[in-house]
């Protein structure tokens, strides 16, 4: 092979080799990008499902807290009136006692988001705004958890006050009364000791605090629910 032929072959094969290498790199980059997009879509679908479950659960919890808030407001007004106003509407005396001693809390599932944060897969999400909100979501939940803790602490503080004011055996009438058909109104089933507690200073204070804290809970819960629904909308916009 002459030198001229050799150089001609080199000049011919060189670009072909370079083009083949560049094509291989392009195919590899395309494949990796495609895999990342599939992973992103899978993550977004799982996040959407997780937030949808939280949205439904929180909406149900908030319905209950709105009812407790309204009852606590009415109970505080009842106490402040010295019992001259009608006793608020309760399904049973037990429910009335529970207003002081129990609280329904909301704890959303966050396994998908926690996994994405711990593994760094949150970086797969291309939307800067969505990624930023998701990164700050644990802090938002922590703030709501703090609001829940106020209500929980209040119920813990109410129990010894209630026990000191009304003996357990006299908080409501006997259980057989509650089981009778066509039983009388709840006000007739509440013991005189408990009625006096409701109009006492400790009872009025506890009713007023419960009404106030329930108001805060509903306000913050509604804000959290709006944020969850906004997140779901943002996630849905990123899905095909």
Convert the pLDDT of each residue in 167-194 to its tens digit: 765 555 433 333 444 444 555 566 777 8
Geometric angle at alpha carbon 73, from 211 and 54, rounded to 5°: 50
Q: Give me the pLDDT at residue 183, please.
A: 42
Helix (H, G, I), strand (E, B) or coil at 172: strand
Phi/psi at 59 (5° precision):
-60, -40
> Which band of pLDDT confidence, cut at 50, 70 and 90, is reported for residue 138?
very high
Stretch 188-216: mean pLDDT, rounded? 87
Q: Give me the pLDDT at residue 131, please.
A: 94
pTM: 0.79
* Tokens encoding 47: 């996040």
- The answer for residues whose C-beta is within 8 angstroms of residue 116's C-beta and 6 or more apart is 43, 47, 122, 134
Phi/psi at 84 (5° precision):
-75, -25
CB atoms within 10 A of CB 196: 13
Cα–Cα separations (whole angstroms), residue 152 to 142, 201, 217, 224: 15, 21, 11, 19
Q: How many structural domains does the chain have?
A: 1
The boundaries of the domain holding residue 32 are 3-238
Euclidean distance between CA atoms 1 and 18, whole angstroms: 24
Q: Give me the pLDDT at residue 179, please.
A: 42
E strand or H helix at 190: none
Phi/psi at 190 (5° precision):
-80, 135
Alpha helices in 190-200 (DSSP H): 192-199
Stretch 8-21: mean pLDDT, rounded? 60
């Amino acid at each position: 092979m002459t030198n001229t032929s050799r150089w001609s072959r080199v000049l011919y094969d060189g670009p072909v080799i370079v083009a083949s290498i560049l094509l291989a790199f392009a195919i590899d980059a395309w494949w990796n990008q495609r895999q990342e997009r599939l992973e992103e879509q899978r993550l977004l679908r799982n996040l959407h499902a997780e937030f949808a479950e939280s949205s439904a659960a929180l909406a149900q919890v908030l319905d209950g807290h709105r009812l407790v808030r309204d009852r606590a407001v009415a109970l505080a007004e009842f106490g402040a009136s010295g019992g001259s106003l009608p006793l608020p509407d309760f399904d049973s005396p037990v429910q009335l006692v529970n207003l002081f001693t129990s609280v329904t809390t909301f704890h959303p599932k966050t396994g998908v988001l926690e996994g994405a944060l711990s593994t760094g897969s949150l970086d797969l999400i291309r939307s800067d705004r969505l990624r930023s909100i998701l990164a700050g979501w644990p802090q938002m939940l922590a703030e709501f958890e703090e609001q829940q803790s106020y209500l929980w602490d209040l119920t813990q503080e109410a129990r010894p006050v209630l026990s000191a004011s009304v003996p357990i055996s006299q908080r409501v009438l006997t259980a057989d009364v509650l089981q009778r058909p066509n039983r009388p109104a709840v006000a007739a089933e509440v013991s005189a000791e408990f009625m006096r507690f409701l109009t006492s200073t400790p009872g009025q204070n506890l009713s007023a605090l419960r009404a106030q804290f329930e108001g805060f809970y509903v306000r913050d819960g509604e804000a959290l629910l709006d944020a969850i629904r906004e997140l779901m909308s943002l996630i849905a916009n990123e899905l095909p």
